[in-house]
Structure 1
Amino acid sequence: MNGVFRDLLDKCVIIYLDDILIYCKTREQHLKDLEAVFQRLQQHRLITKGSKCEFLKQELEFLGHVISTEGIRIDSKKLRAIQEWKPPTNLPQLQSFLGFVNYVRRFIPNMAGLTGPLTDLLQKGTCYEWGEKQQAAFEALKKLLMSPPVLRIADPEWPFEVITDASDIAIGAVLMQDFGNGLQPIAYESRKMQSAERNYPVHDKEMLAIVHAFKIWRCYLTGADVTVRTDHKSLQYLRAQPNLNPRQIRWLDYLESNFTYKITYKKGANNIADALSRLSAQLAAVLVAQSNPLLIHDSNLSGHFGVDKTLKALQRFYYWPDMVADVQRYVAACPICQRMKSSHQRPTGLLQPLEPPQRPWQHVTMDFVTGLPAGPSGNDAVLVVVDRLTKMAHFAPCRTTITAEETARLFISTIVRLHGIPAAIISDRDPKFTSKFWQDTWARYGTRLQFSSAYHPQTDGQTERTNQTMEQLIRTNCPDRNKWEDVLPMLEFSYNNAPSATTNHSPFYLNYGMDPTVPISTNVEN
């Protein structure tokens, strides 16, 4: 299926096995996309079953989630079994429960804190003893799993905000965007600190939370404008500190070489991420009742209604923090209301060979090599563009923080100026290459954009191999790593003058019909 809809993937179509999700922003465009999908199905003699199809929906279930104009939430039908989940009596049962919990962790703002007493039992050499702490955490998680929040779908055209916090034993972060109506959550993240990390000073713990968030959400934050909000004021001035320890230098180097960001101070009392890292206070407030009669949702007089009616019935008599979340989780896990069915697999599909080009520079592949030492010009990355037919490559120095607009200008000055406009560009799913600006730019020229398979960048093997060769050339021909940019033009020439194992000719010869003049050929002629 991935091969059938290759050019539509992540533009208007998402494929999972034999499930097809078609999406867009307007009804008119949706009808056009439907027509394109139906034509593709007809061409390949694929049949759909009408009873399993839904059209023109603003909300639908897909892979255990409900996708709507509001965002993404967990499908309540998929959480039915959680309510009847018995306390684990051995390690395999605990691992099974935590595996289920981990599936929805991006929806839960304080997952690391709540699972702390449970994950402690997984440590090597620990005797499995189920006590009051574990029971309290288990019950709290069961309630929490009933009402995960609605997460907005990230839009790379809008700036991101990362709100972080750290406690003595855990770190947490929230990824958010403001779409014009206030900040909305995109994802939550939290984890327990390792034993060595718990010995860090406070400012290093807070910095650890920032670095961890950027690593987890790198696919969103690379190439985007990011504002980091922390309740540790001194981190605002970290870049200006003259004396940094080796750990701080490594962290700062990672952030500076991969992201465009600024750190601002947000008072702790108003920091939404505080909840992500607070373990003790949350568990101390858990009350394990001696009896728990089912009065509202499950009683004979309550009717097993949904979240809204159950919540309103409760609010007539009771109140507690996170009531909405608790009700949503409980209803979602009710064994009478729903049936459990979760998916943990990544989308996969058969790999299909790319269409062979008919002339040089008709089809090109492109990628970035990052993490190079910044030279005097500030460049710390290379844009690598390879002709799929002749294997000729161009290496263009740039910065890791290059935008989609700057990438387009660099591509035109480096490739289009010499070889014309390509018919197809193959790349990975970098936010710069999936942005609206990049797609609109090449749509005007009639260039087709193709993307390597999700979760498997090796499918664009030609560029990946060229990247490795270029990095090897820099290591072997540039003793001073900081001056790699000075020798890059000659390294490009060396690469293009070397015979390819695929064609048995050099890329230079296949492009120009002759070999270039080099010192050895001059000596032979003389």
Structure 2
Amino acid sequence: MVKDGYITKVNQPTEWVSSMVAAVRNGKIRICIDPSDLNKVIKREHYPMRTIEEVVSAIPGAKVFSVLDAKSGFLQIELDEASSFLTTFNTPIGRFRWLRLPFGLKCAPEIFQRIMDEMLEGISGAISVMDDILIAAPSVPEHDEILRKVIQRATSYNLSLNFDKCHVKQSSVPYVGHLITADGLKADPAKIEAVKSMPTPRDKDGVRRFLGFVTYLSKFLPNLSEVDAPLRQLLKTDVEFAWQPAQQQAFDTLKDMCTESPVLQFFDPSKSVEIFCDASSNGLGAVLLQDSHPIAFSSRSLTDTETRYAQIEKEMLSIVHACVKFHNYIFGNHVTIYNDHKPLEDIFRKPLLSTPMRIQRMRLRLQWYDLTVKYRRGKDMELPDTLSRAQLPVNKPEMEGLECVSMLHFVSVSEQKYSELQNCTREELSCLQRIIRQGWPDHRHDLPNELQPYWDSRSQLVVSDGVVYKGLRIVVPPSMQAHMLKLIHQSHLGIVKSKQRAREVLYWPGMSSVIEQMVKNCGKCADFQNKLPRQPLRPTETPSFPFEEVASDLFEFEGTHYILLVDYYSKFIEVDTLKNLHCRSIIEKLKAQFSRHGIPVILRTDNGPQYAAEEFKVFCQSYGITHRTSSPHTPHSNGEAERAVQTVKKLWAKASDKHLALLDYRTTPLDSVGFSPAQLLMGRRPRNSLPTARLLLAPAAYDPIKVKQRLDRSKCIQKFYYDHKRASGPRAELKPGDEVRMQPHPGSNRWSPGVVVRSHDAPRSYIVESGNKEYRRNVQHLRKSTPDANDSRHRLINDHWAELMEPVSAEEPEPVEHTNSQQESAPVPQTAKGMTSTGQYITRLGRVVKPPDRLSL
């Protein structure tokens, strides 16, 4: 397409980027875009579209006709540069923009019609409606002269024609859904074939449906009660069904009446357009109406593969069938489509890529049309319902290539695991699969109890290759949920990140609450909870793009020194090993990181000797970096790096694979933005250990302005609640028997399980039992827990989920010796402030300060 001049590469930033969708049509792959967001702001030209009556009145006395078809009509129109950049779309190999007018833009039909009219201006006997050019003349010589002028004009405009679809020198030609002849305008037999070829009813239900079809049109049918009397006679309870000549005559007469004037009318582009469509178990039916008058009918049977579609897919297919069949009427016009499947309303409100793959392809086929889909009760859909149950044989499906190959090719999982998923789904979710294929009931209470939790997600559930999907997310059978929980929590991420990580690719009812409870009850996570907040929050200014501002810090883990770099924008963390703590080593590591991601504008660090060295100052100046350090003795001023160090240390302390833990963090969406650090930095989701649809791994653009707004909003909300909690007074009082986690030493990173025995006489102080010993602790160092998190048996279960990681040992605190409350609260004898009678210095937190050992010289 680049070679043929249809698209070109885009390297500079653009205001609009649409999603790319690949479709297969006529055995060829076509590249399309989803411009739904762009269409909301495009202003249409509102160029007038011709009616068939205007076409006929422009060719009086014509007897010889030709119809020429413009090949790939829209793609023959070049875009100016400004418009071209609006059509930028994302692909796995970068961004491209259209150089020609693509399908899907709501302004495209008017633009194309205007250009076609300009091309044919001044040629009498030649007229166009969209990409069909009609040539009409009273005689062959005059016709040939007009044809020659049209071809010359098309050549000058570089308009290519599709000769396979052209009709030349005919006495009658099909045109815009009608038949133009020397005798005048006639109805196209194709638009009434669905009614004319309707089979004879075989039982009373068939008669009842046909009479419902006729009754809907009764206001246009004179003497209806007399004509349909033989058919109504068959519906009596005491009359046996017997199809006689009288019934056949009434049946044929009614079909003729429904397909002739005054019932059937000519199409008028100036009037609003409505389509009623429906799908039965074996067929599709549709009718085009204006002012309640039928314009055209259509029906067809389902293929063997289509009969196995879920009901929502059949109903969507009926919309596709109707739009393709009535293309000549609705292309370029807004059309309201009525269907009796309510979930379709929600489907059309969702982004294209969030819907199931088969429905995605159907919606992609509908991008040519300006549609509004509305729900209508089934009992008010007599016309399409009757047509769908008395369908014509299918000649060629509207959608080719919908029969997807094994979904294993689209899911990042081994063949063995996918086979296990199929087997478990078949055994445990067979009832759900049946409901999805047959259609959902009208009310939630009509479902079996075990399926009611799926009710709110019914519009997104489909079955493909033996697996149930909610959009692109796999619906996990009950027996596999425990294994998925293990994978979700394998790196012991927190509640929010664990839920975000799971929601990207997995689904089952109540999944979020189960994950939340699992993390709360995880003993290992309870051991490494964050410290309680102590200082007011002072948010930093959010950068405008990745790696504009970064922070760095040094830390030690298991005897090895590391340097950490974190991006303020994406929260992406880089960690490198240090052989020594020399300034030169740190500079070399930072140079390597900057070579991968670019040189930042601002670098924040603490006041460590390596960062305060003259050599580091020269390095920053040579690289054009503004170096900002935190205030002395206030490492929290470099909070982004401090938090990143805490995150890495905790992940590594709990995880068996350091690299996998970092990968899980980088690929887990940030709560405030909805994108993971890797997505914000790289524009894609790196593959991790969770089974993920391949479409989710493809590069995808995001709006940096919206990301910055969300980050700013998140910081404001965070500061509000953070400061609000500090100003809200003391925390809730603990009661005897409450399960808690306590810090063995103030400032410790590990929290030990305990139980509140009683409150101490001092305010906010409690006696806590832990490990058969009692301790006195301030409420600042106590955190409420759950019995399961403190239960050693539950800790073993969580350790098994974490693949039996070795627990990190912690120094055991010294217990508080006491025999009664008086002794417990008795003051320690002191000779001076903070000094005991034995000469020991005691801090206000109760820690004994050991004097330094001095060298005697």
TM-score (norm 2): 0.19
> Which has the higher Rg, Structure 1 or Structure 2?
2
Q: Which protein, 1 or 2, shows the higher relative CO under an 8 Å CA cutoff with sep ≥ 6?
A: 1
